[in-house]
Each structure stands twice: as structure tokens, then as C-alpha cells.
């Protein structure tokens, strides 16, 4: 079952949020508040988490606090990779957590921590042992990144490739399972620390590893899983079929779902890291996903961010918030095609059923359509 909704991923990292478009993060703050309120309106019991920040920066958390974002959330999350990309040592984890505790009273999660085997698999084994020693019992939630290595035919989600140099290839070796599914030495060590340690696994659209991943996580004793539902993927054909399958495969775990990635045609710039043209649209996506996969037992209420409001904003939206000469995509640029509707038509969950201890959603289409 879904236990938490995470709003975006690494919002202070340009790989996931473009600071040239939103240098003060004011657009992000507006979007995050709208999303948090939409989630709370549909399920007040669902934990709302600020997307894990990377780097760990207390000034960013202070900025979110000053914008009022933290007033709408239940926890903040951190991402740390001191043996790969960060400019601090692994033994400094307690200090990094205390830096954030100094600026917020909200519970702190570490929703991504991991070690690449790009150099040596023994480093990952040692790093996992040391991370468990430093973090278990110190924070409310700790999730290891990741189960699988990234397939080498895929592209890593980063905008730092030139700056990273050879370190870019560390992204491909973060799993405790190799790309071919064989275990690394750290896998047995990881199993010693479950269920205290959870797992992070991002699944690409129609990822063939989904069922095998769920089976591995059960064998390892994992209880807490973090994954994502992409707003950009919502516009693909048969998107809801894939989302349904993903959530059903993970129904036996306590799932944190990260909502992120701007559809290219709905961003100020034509990129998944862009702030949206209409922030209410992201809130509507979050509302739809909570309605579908984590509805309140008592039944939620409609948030003020309703479809008519958002559609009115789309109709009256400024055609661009940036200079067309900047090279960034803008709607008014010559040759741009008309945008599609703001969101695909929604399908509501019609029933829930208990099967053993698992909460299984019976998701039926009212009109029999596929998306």
C-alpha cells in the first residue's frame, strides 16, 4: 500500500529542476504547496514528503520554510552519496542530518543513499555496512539506492555529464544486482539490515524488470520501497495500464511514490526539469494518482485546485514566462504546434478489496477505454 507521497525528486539539483528558469525556487514552492494541498484533500492521512534534496543543503530547506512549503508537509528527505559524488566523507552523515535538524522540526528521511561499484564491488559492501551503522535508528526512514544497476543502453537522468567526467558512469553501477540480475557481494549484507533499510527502484515506462524486482525485494525482507510515477508518462498511450500494473506489483510493500517530471509540452521550457506553465496541472496529476492508488478510507474532499480552475489558467496562461531569444522552448515561438488538453481524461477507482493482508485495488474502466 502507499504510505507516502513525495513531491518531486531532488528539486535543488539541476538534473531534476532547472534553476535558470526558476533561480529563486519560487515557482517550485508554489507548485509544491498546490500539490501538497491536493494530496491532503484526497487523503489527509497520507504522509507528504518534500522530494529528497541533493546536495544536502540547509539553506534550501530554510528557503522552502520561508516560502511556507514546510507548513504543508509532514517530512523532508535527503539524498547522499559520499563515496561517489558528494564533497564530504561518509562518517559525516550524522553532521549532515543535524544541519537539517537545525532548520526544521519535521521528521527527516534519507530517501536515497548508495554506493557505486564503478571502482570495486568491495567498496559498495563496506559502504553499505558503514551507512547502516551510521543511519539505522537515527532517522525515521532510510532507503538504499538501488536494487538494479542501470542498463548500459539507457541514459542516466543527469544534466551534469560533462562536469562529472568519468564519474558519470557511476550512475550505471548503483545496484546490489548487476544488470544481468546476478547478485553483488553487498546483496547478502543488505538483507541483514532489512526491514530497517528500504529500497529505491525507479521503473521506466513498461519496465520488464518489474515483477522480478518485486520478487527479489520480498526475498530480501524489504518492507519499505520508494519508486516514482511520472507526470510526463501520464501522457503516453496506455499510461494508466502501466501505472496500475506497477502499483499492483508493489502492493505488499509500504510504498513511497515520488511524483515528478514535467511533460515537455506543459513546461515553460521543453524539458522534464522545467517548471510547469500551469502549476495546478501538476497538483491535478498528484490528486488523480492519490485518488486512484491511495484513496482515503473516509473519502477525501475536492481541493480548490479543481479542473475548471486549471483549465481557465491554461486558457489565460501567458504564452511564455521567458525570453524567446534565450533558446528555451516557449509556446509563442513560431512553428510550435497547438498544445493538447491539459490532462488526459481521468478514470476513477471503483472498488477496493482485501486479499489476505494485501490491499488490492480493482481498477475498472467506466467507459472501457485503454487510457
- CA 205-211-216 angle, to 5 degrees, is 120
pLDDT of residue 164: 60
3-state secondary structure of 245: helix
Sign of CA dihedral 334, 260, 190, 247: negative
Sign of CA dihedral 226, 193, 215, 117: positive
Q: Which three cell numbers stand for residue 178?
A: 548487476
Q: How far is CA 77 from CA 144, 300, 302, in A?
A: 13, 26, 27
For residue 167, tell me if it sits in a domain.
yes
For residue 38, tell me if it sits in a domain.
yes
The DSSP bridge partners found for residue 313 are none
- DSSP annotation of 339 reads P
Q: Would strands 75-80 and 358-362 be described as parallel, antiparallel, or unpaired?
A: unpaired
pTM > 0.85: no
- CA 18-228-342 angle, to 5 degrees, is 65
For residue 368, tell me if it sits in a domain.
no
The top-scoring range by mean pLDDT among 149-153, 179-183, 313-317 is 179-183
The DSSP bridge partners found for residue 47 are 4
Tens-digit pLDDT profile for residues 159-214:
555 566 656 788 899 999 999 999 999 999 999 999 999 999 999 999 999 999 99
Enclosing domain of residue 180: 2-362
CA dist 282 and 288 (Å) reads 10
For residue 369, tell me if it sits in a domain.
no
Q: For the beta carbon of residue 159, count every other beta carbon within 10 angstroms.
A: 13
Tens-digit pLDDT profile for residues 121-146:
999 999 999 999 999 999 999 999 99
Closest CA to 196 of 255, 276, 250, 136: 136
For residue 371, tell me if it sits in a domain.
no
- Residue that is written with C-alpha cell 506543459 in the block: 266
For residue 343, tell me if it sits in a domain.
yes
- Residues 6+ away with beta carbon under 8 Å from 104: 61, 65, 70, 76
CA dist 296 and 312 (Å) reads 28
| Angle (deg, nearest 10), helices 26-42 and 279-293 | 30
Range list of β-strands (E), 67-159: 75-80, 108-113, 141-145
Which CATH number fits the domain that encloses residue 182?
A: 3.20.20
Percent of the chain with pLDDT over 90: 73
Output the furthest CA–CA distance in the chain (Å, rounded): 59
Tens-digit pLDDT profile for residues 36-59:
999 999 999 999 999 999 999 999
For residue 342, tell me if it sits in a domain.
yes
Backbone region of residue 210 per phi and psi (left: phi > 0; alpha: psi in -120 to 50; beta: other values): alpha
Tens-digit pLDDT profile for residues 202-211:
999 999 999 9
For residue 367, tell me if it sits in a domain.
no
- Residues 6+ away with beta carbon under 8 Å from 355: none
Sign of CA dihedral 135, 29, 271, 313: positive
Tens-digit pLDDT profile for residues 338-365:
334 444 444 433 333 223 333 333 333 3
Rounded to a whole number, what is the distance in angstroms from the first to the last CA of the chain?
23
Q: How many domains does the chain have?
A: 1
- Residue that is written with C-alpha cell 501505472 in the block: 243
CA atoms within 13 A on the CB side of 278: 26
Quick one: 284 exposed, middle or buried, by C-beta within 10 A (0-12, 13-18, 19+)? buried
Q: Would strands 2-7 and 75-80 be described as parallel, antiparallel, or unpaired?
A: unpaired
Amino acid at each position: 500500500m502507499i504510505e507516502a507521497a513525495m513531491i518531486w525528486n531532488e528539486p535543488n539539483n539541476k538534473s531534476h529542476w532547472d534553476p535558470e528558469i526558476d533561480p529563486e525556487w519560487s515557482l517550485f514552492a508554489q507548485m509544491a504547496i498546490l500539490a501538497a494541498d491536493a494530496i491532503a484533500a484526497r487523503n489527509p492521512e497520507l504522509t507528504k514528503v518534500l522530494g529528497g534534496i541533493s546536495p544536502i543543503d540547509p539553506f534550501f530547506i530554510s528557503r522552502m520554510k520561508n516560502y511556507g512549503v514546510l507548513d504543508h508537509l509532514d517530512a523532508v528527505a535527503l539524498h547522499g552519496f559520499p563515496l561517489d559524488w558528494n564533497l564530504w566523507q561518509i562518517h559525516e552523515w550524522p553532521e549532515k542530518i543535524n544541519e537539517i535538524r537545525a532548520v526544521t522540526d519535521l521528521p527527516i528521511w534519507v530517501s536515497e543513499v548508495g554506493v557505486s561499484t564503478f571502482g570495486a564491488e568491495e567498496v559498495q559492501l563496506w559502504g553499505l555496512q558503514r551507512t547502516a551503522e551510521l543511519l539505522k535508528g537515527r532517522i525515521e526512514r532510510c532507503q538504499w539506492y538501488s536494487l538494479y544497476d542501470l542498463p548500459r543502453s539507457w541514459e542516466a537522468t543527469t544534466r551534469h555529464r560533462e562536469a562529472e567526467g568519468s564519474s558519470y558512469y557511476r550512475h550505471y553501477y548503483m545496484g546490489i544486482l548487476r544488470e544481468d540480475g546476478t547478485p553483488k557481494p553487498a546483496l547478502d549484507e543488505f538483507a541483514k539490515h532489512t526491514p530497517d533499510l528500504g529500497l529505491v527502484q525507479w521503473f521506466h515506462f513498461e519496465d520488464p524488470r518489474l515483477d522480478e524486482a518485486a520478487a527479489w525485494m520480498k526475498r530480501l525482507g524489504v518492507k519499505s520501497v520508494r519508486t516514482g510515477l511520472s507526470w510526463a508518462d501520464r501522457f503516453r498511450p496506455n499510461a494508466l495500464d502501466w501505472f496500475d500494473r506497477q502499483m499492483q506489483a508493489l502492493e505488499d510493500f509500504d510504498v513511497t511514490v515520488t511524483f515528478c517530471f514535467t511533460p515537455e509540452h506543459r513546461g515553460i521550457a521543453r524539458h522534464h526539469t522545467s517548471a510547469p506553465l500551469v502549476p495546478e496541472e501538476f497538483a491535478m496529476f498528484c490528486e488523480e494518482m492519490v485518488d486512484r492508488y491511495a484513496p482515503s478510507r473516509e473519502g477525501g474532499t475536492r481541493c480548490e485546485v479543481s479542473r475548471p480552475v486549471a483549465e481557465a489558467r491554461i486558457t489565460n496562461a501567458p504564452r511564455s514566462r521567458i525570453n524567446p531569444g534565450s533558446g528555451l522552448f516557449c509556446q509563442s515561438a513560431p512553428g510550435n504546434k497547438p498544445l493538447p488538453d491539459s490532462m488526459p481524461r481521468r478514470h476513477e477507482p471503483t472498488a477496493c478489496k482485501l486479499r489476505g493482508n494485501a490491499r488490492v485495488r480493482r481498477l475498472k474502466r467506466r467507459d472501457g477505454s485503454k487510457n
